[in-house]
Structure 1
């Protein structure tokens, strides 16, 4: 890349000046090299070793099934609506509260499911899980 002071050669320069781009890349490389160790803020601790049995951290769960006819099953046992409410109140006073796994038949009306969810909420149970079957390919 040479500049000619003469005016004989008036062609435009067709080369890309790479020097500024290389300078910018080197500055960015230095910035990243310096800042990379600062991004890791872990503290190395020498933890003690101990052998013990694993702790079962799974919470209790209750299966509540609703059939399309309006039948309710609490852990597989057929219950009517009044006894179901008593069981819900009893479960809400347990510590920790059990998770209610709600299984509704495919043909169960939305109104029935909504009523059961409202009953669970009034009883003080907040952990509700909906159980469904995965789609078949």
Structure 2
């Protein structure tokens, strides 16, 4: 017998890590998919209401106003003029463009009305206001 041939009952000197690497790759891909699949946007503290329902259609655009009055369109910072231009371009491609407005509860009301005026000028009729559901009182 040759020196490199081992008997059937001899212990292994190495560990096969291929199944462990396969599992690590599956977990990595799952983690990447779950973290990028979250709703895009800027986090704000939305006001609470009793009738909060924010069902968004797949092509819905989100306008966000932060506490300090910064405007975002789908997580991209914009000025009021840029918002108007981009919404006009989107509306030309989709006449029934659905838009949701997410504003922080402490946002100045003036900023909200400015965004609503832009939507009115562009004849955006499918406009929703995002709120949080207020917990029911016992």
- TM-score (norm. length: structure 2): 0.53
For the Cα contact (< 8 Å) 2:80–2:115, is it kept in 1?
no
- Superposed, 1:18-37 pairs within 5 Å as none
2:68 matched residue in structure 1: 69
Deviations 1:16-43 (A, max 9, x none): xxxxxxxxxxxxxxxxxxxxxxxxxxxx
User: How big is the shift at 1:61?
Assistant: 0.3
Secondary structure of the structure 2 residue equivalent to 1:63? strand
2:23 matched residue in structure 1: none
1:104 matched residue in structure 2: 103
1:125 matched residue in structure 2: 124
RMSD: 1.6
Structure with bigger gyration radius: 1
- The runs of at least 4 consecutive aligned structure 1 residues that moved more than 4 Å come to none
User: How big is the shift at 1:68?
Assistant: 2.1
- Superposed, 1:73-92 pairs within 5 Å as 73-92=72-91
User: How big is the shift at 1:135?
Assistant: 1.5
Aligned mates of 1:59, 1:78 — CA distance in 2: 21
Secondary structure of the structure 1 residue equivalent to 2:93? coil
Secondary structure of the structure 2 residue equivalent to 1:78? strand
Aligned mates of 1:60, 1:96 — CA distance in 2: 12
Secondary structure of the structure 2 residue equivalent to 1:93? helix
For the Cα contact (< 8 Å) 1:59–1:99, is it kept in 2?
no
User: How big is the shift at 1:81?
Assistant: 1.6
User: How big is the shift at 1:96?
Assistant: 4.4
Q: How many residues align?
A: 80
User: How big is the shift at 1:97?
Assistant: 2.4
User: How big is the shift at 1:59?
Assistant: 5.5
Secondary structure of the structure 2 residue equivalent to 1:108? coil
